[in-house]
Amino acid sequence: MIDLEALISSELERMLPLPDGRRASWEDVLARSGRRPRAGVRRRALALVAAAAAVVLIAVTTPVGAAILDGVGGFAAWIAGRPGTPAPPTAQQAFEQANERSWSSFAPGTELRRLIETTVGGTSYTLYGFRSGDELCLRLTASTISAASTHCAPVSALQTATEPALVVAADEPFGTTNEPPNAQGYVAPAASASFGIVSDGVAHVLVHADDGSHDALVASNAFLYVADHPQAGVRVRSVDAIAGDGAKVALPFESAPYGMADLAQPPTGSPRGPAHVDRKVSGGTIGWLDQRQPRGVPLPDELKQIPMVHDLIFGRLLQPDPQSSDRIALELVGSIPAPPSAPAQPGPLLCTTLVGGGHIGLSGGCGRFADFFKHSPMHVGLTGSGSDQFLLLDGIVSDDIAKVTVFFASGASVDPPLSDNVFLSRAARASFPIRVVGYDSQQRVIAIQTFRDDGMTNPAPPEARKSIRERFRVTAADGTTAIVSAGDPAGGYRCWSISYGNGGAQEGGCTPWPLTDTITKGNPLLLIGATRTGDDVFLGGQVPADVASVTVSYPDGTTDHATTQDGYAVYAIPAAQLASGGATVALRAYDAQGTLLAQRGLAIKR
Amino acid sequence: MSEIESVYRSRYREFLRVATAIVGDEATAHDAVQDAFAQALKQRASFRGDGPLEAWIWRVVVNAARGARRRQVARREVPEDADATASTNGEGRDESGVRAWVAALPERQRLVVYLRYYADLDYRAIATVLEIEVGTVSATLSAAHRALRRSLEEVRR
């Protein structure tokens, strides 16, 4: 007798073991959804290093930038933590109360400074600034919205700046409107804000967005631009700083992502730093964790409430850089929440949780502790939201690693403090590609992890991404709709999406264009698939440009035409054809002269 | 923590595993899972409450993974019918025949198998995810099991 269930379970487990959760990032989900992360998980910047001596800068200063910047002295007010004027007592008190409520907070005694006030669309906005440890933070409040938006940059970003200003956040959405979602399902915000830090020599900041160029407000060594009721998807594309004498400098900048298609282009620079390991290391461990040594501080109760660590065996909260309030928790857990019959994970699991600015669970994941360093003695994660210009690198290393260096595309590098086998560091989105290198105690390279981009890029050129618009829609008998949106082909790519009804089904992206025989394997109908949404089944997908019509034939002899337009074919299968539980349909593609180009059978089941 | 976020944090690895099984590589699968959850967030209001929220999310993830695979077929010139399991982490010989069995299954049956054994969903949840009847899930798995049993017995003879 064969125990099929057990056999299948074990073999499938062997084929594809449960992956570790290192890639998990809720903030990335939020960024992809086009929403700003909820107030409880706003990410703050991490100080990279306390001393400028820890930063090795090789980049060449641009003459114009240097002329405006006039050395780090141009940022003196920020470095001293005293830009602008003191915040009103009520604002300072509100900030302190919010800070005290959290067990992980900005440094005690942090002084809030008022930088810029403005009113846009009937809402008053106030930009505050403060320095907390080695972080420089901007906090924007709006009179009609209770939550404040806080974004930070490391002090080292100013200490090594070659440009006279620094964009800290872009297109941060504020509030929502009552307008219906667009074809891609997005609702425009009531306002969106971009802001940053400027040096003494900067007189103007020009923000170039999809809807034109705008003068930002500049005061108190900061700039602020608030777009009132922008259309969904309107993004800032570049930012210039202008000196009193008219000299202009383009600031390092990456646009905030929008949807599946509107992503920045991948960086063109090359990764710096060592590209090969000197010694291959595998199977390391974290000794203190294995021996349950009480490093760092105990896990706070709030952190223990995360479902992932409900079966906690041992955990500690670590602060690798004492100048930063960002922390990382390492937890050994017996199991993670899963249905009782799920395959058991042998041995304890090592879970990580990022903590910053008084908030927990920025990102994290789990992996089997015994195998954690099986393939590499270093694991580095990247966390960020779409509006942030600085992303957080979090790393866990085995005892084999003695030092970590982060190499930026500019040639600059930084050695983040490494303590208790963890490190945290910041990277500007404009500084990619970056390479993180781990060294052993003899300065040999034993681990390399390269991030070619920040995870929010797409190679399609801007004109392909910006031109996406609704092309046509197909409605099923019950009113459910499939909406086809596509941009103009450019640079070998076309950006598109097909959104099916309200069931959450959507396909698309920026994909190679035109569709050649190589892509379709010689069958123009290859990319058409069936998608179920609610009670409906749609056929839909891309077709090559020479396909003028697509027919759908049923066994009962009836034939319908799919809506075929602009390189896409979509068709709603009548419910009657699926009444028996499914149907086998014949798809046929014809050119404009009615010549049959291809046919394909497709079995569809309900 | 929202319900969707809670599902993500507690079940990310299972979502990733099923998506990897469908797509064939973990990086693309991760991308599909992330996009799917973003999609779920945007369309949360459209969840009609006619089943568990997690099943609805599974549906979104499976659709996203299938879409990713379809695009991958175009980009990487993978034969349309090449099975995703061929590029998973499996090592060694297929002595039991299970891999070949999975590879030979029609897509719908294969999805049922993935959701049953990789996601550990019960029949009702699988039915909700794939929008088929519970009886169809049962029949699909039974048919798949019968096919595997036959092939194993043939091997033993």
Angle B134-156/B123-130 helices, nearest 10 degrees?
Answer: 110
Residues A266, A257 contacting (CB under 8 angstroms): no
Query: Which amino acid would we find at residue A113?
Result: R
Q: In the A/B pair of chains, how many CB contacts fall below 8 A? A: 187
Of A9, A12, A511, the CB nearest to B74: A511
Span A107-118, mean pLDDT? 88
Q: Closest CB to B70: pick one of A7, A38, A529.
A: A529
pLDDT value at position A9?
75
Residue A117 forms beta bridges with which residues?
A: A126
* Residue B52 forms contact with A (CB below 8 Å): no
Chain B residues in contact with A260 (beta carbon < 8 A): 35
Every domain of chain A and the residues it spans: 11-25+271-451, 37-250, 462-605
* pLDDT in the model for residue B93: 42
- Write down the H helix ranges in A257-364: 287-290, 301-304
Q: Report pLDDT digits (tens) over A17-54.
A: 788 777 777 877 877 776 544 332 222 222 222 222 22
Closest to A19 (Cβ–Cβ): which among B16, B130, B149?
Answer: B16
Choose among B144, B148, B145, B127: nearest CA to B136.
B127
CB nearest to A29's CB, from B8, B16, B64 = B8
Q: How far apart are CA A312 and CA A353, in angstroms?
A: 13
Q: What is the C-alpha to C-alpha distance for residues A260 and A186, in angstroms, rounded to an integer? A: 11
Answer whether A25 touches B (CB < 8 Å): yes
> What distance in Å separates the CA atoms of residue A64 and residue A240, rounded to the nearest whole number?
12
CB-based contacts of A26, cutoff 8 Å, min separation 6: A37, A41, A361, A362, A363, B5, B8, B9
**Would you state the pLDDT for residue A101?**
61
- In this complex, which of B9, B66, B113 lies closest to A308 when CB atoms are compared? B9
Neighbours of A90 (CB within 10 A): 8
B9 at the A interface (CB within 8 A)? yes
Residue in A33, A35, A526 nearest the CB of B80:
A526
Q: Does B51 contact A at CB distance below 8 Å? A: no
Which CATH code is given to the segment(s) A462-605? 2.60.40.10
Rounded CA-CA distance B124/B126 in Å is 5
User: What residues are paired with A226 via a beta bridge?
Assistant: A193
Task: Tell me if A216 sits within 8 A of A205, measured CB to CB.
Answer: yes
Top residue of A8, A309, A375 to mutate, by most chain B CBs within 10 Å, is: A8
Tell me the CATH architecture of domain A11-25+271-451.
Answer: Sandwich (2.60)
B window 96-155, beta carbon within 8 A of A: 96, 98-99, 102, 106, 108, 113, 117-118, 120-121, 130-133, 136, 145, 148-149, 152-153
| Amino acid in position A454 | D
Q: Give the pLDDT confidence of A490-544 residue by residue, as tens digits.
A: 988 898 888 887 545 667 778 888 888 877 777 888 888 888 777 788 899 999 9
- Could you give all domains of chain B from N- to C-terminal order, each with its CATH number? 3-156 (1.20.140)
CB spacing of B46 vs A502 below 8 angstroms: yes
A33 contacts in B (CB within 8 Å)? 37-39, 41-42
Q: How far is A366 from chain B (nearest CA, A)?
A: 9
Task: Count CB atoms within 10 A of the CB of residue A276.
Answer: 6
Angstrom distance (rounded) from CA A589 to CA A303:
57
∠B113-B114-B116 over CA atoms, to 5°?
65
The angle subtended at Cα B21 by Cα B18 and Cα B24, nearest 5°, is 135
Q: Let me know the angle formed at the C-alpha of A452 by B70 and A250, rounded to the nearest 5 degrees.
A: 115
Of B10, B99, B118, the CB nearest to A337: B10
If you average pLDDT over residues A384-401, what whole number do you get?
89
User: Rounded mean pLDDT of A182-204?
Assistant: 85
Query: Structure tokens of A363?
Result: 């990102």
The DSSP code sequence of A201-241 is TEEEEEEEETTEEEEPEEETTEEEEEEESPPTT--EEEEEE
- The tokens 């390399």 sit on which residue? A448
Per the prediction, chain B carries an average pLDDT of 73
What Å distances lie between residue B5 and A393, A528, B14, B112, CA to CA? 22, 32, 15, 25
Q: Which two tokens stand for residue A186?
A: 């997005």
| Distant-in-sequence, close-in-space partners of A149: CB < 8 Å, separation ≥ 6 | A36, A42, A139, A140, A141, A169, A172, A174, A193
Interface test mutation site (partner A, options B54, B80, B88, B131, max chain A beta carbons within 10 A): B131
CA distance B143 to B102: 12
The pLDDT of A357-366, averaged and rounded, is 56
Can you tell me whether residue A300 is helix, strand or coil? coil
Give the pLDDT score at A606: 63
Say how many residues make up chain A.
606
d(CA B30, CA B9): 14
**ipTM score assigned to the predicted complex:** 0.84
For the cut 50, the answer to whether the pLDDT of residue A252 exceeds it is yes
Residue-wise pLDDT for A262-303, tens only, equals 777 888 888 999 999 999 998 899 999 999 999 998 888 777
Distance CA A306, CA B47 (A): 25
C-beta atoms of A15 and B98 within 8 A: yes
pLDDT in tens, B97-154: 667 777 777 777 888 888 888 888 888 888 888 878 878 888 878 877 776 776 665 4
Out of A34, A308, A518, closest to residue B10 by CB: A308
Residue of A nearest to B88 (CA): A16
Q: Report the pLDDT value the prediction gives residue B13, as an integer from 0 to 100.
A: 87
Q: A330: number of CA atoms within 13 Å, CB side?
A: 28
Residue A442 near chain B (CB below 8 Å): no
Contact of A492 with chain B, judged by CB distance below 8 Å, is answered with no
By residue count, chain B amounts to 157
pLDDT band at B61 (very low <50, low <70, confident <90, very high): very high
Q: How far is B93 from chain A (nearest CA, A)?
A: 10
Report pLDDT digits (tens) over A137-165: 899 999 877 667 888 888 888 877 888 99
Choice among A581-590, B15-24, B57-66, B78-87 with the minimum mean pLDDT: B78-87
CATH 2.60.40.10 given to domain A37-250: yes
All residues of chain A having their beta carbon less than 8 Å from the beta carbon of residue B117 are: 8-9, 12
Q: Do domains A11-25+271-451 and A37-250 have the same CATH topology?
A: yes
Alpha-carbon dihedral sign for residues A517, A521, A524, A526: negative
Q: Which of A50, A453, A520 is nearest to B71 (CA)?
A: A520
Chain A positions in Cβ-Cβ contact with residue B70 (cut-off 8 Å): 507, 527, 529, 541
> What strands, in cross-sheet order, belong to the sheet with A390-397?
A378-383, A390-397, A422-428
Q: State how far the Cα of B130 lies from the Cα of A459, in Å rounded to an integer.
A: 33
Q: For chain A, how far is it from start to end, CA to CA, in angstroms? A: 34
- Please name every residue paired with A246 in a beta bridge, in sequence order, or none if there are none: none
Per DSSP bridges, beta strands A297-298 and A312-318 are: antiparallel
Which whole-number Å values give the CA distances from A343 to A95, A340, B22, B72, B104, in the listed order?
47, 8, 20, 30, 24
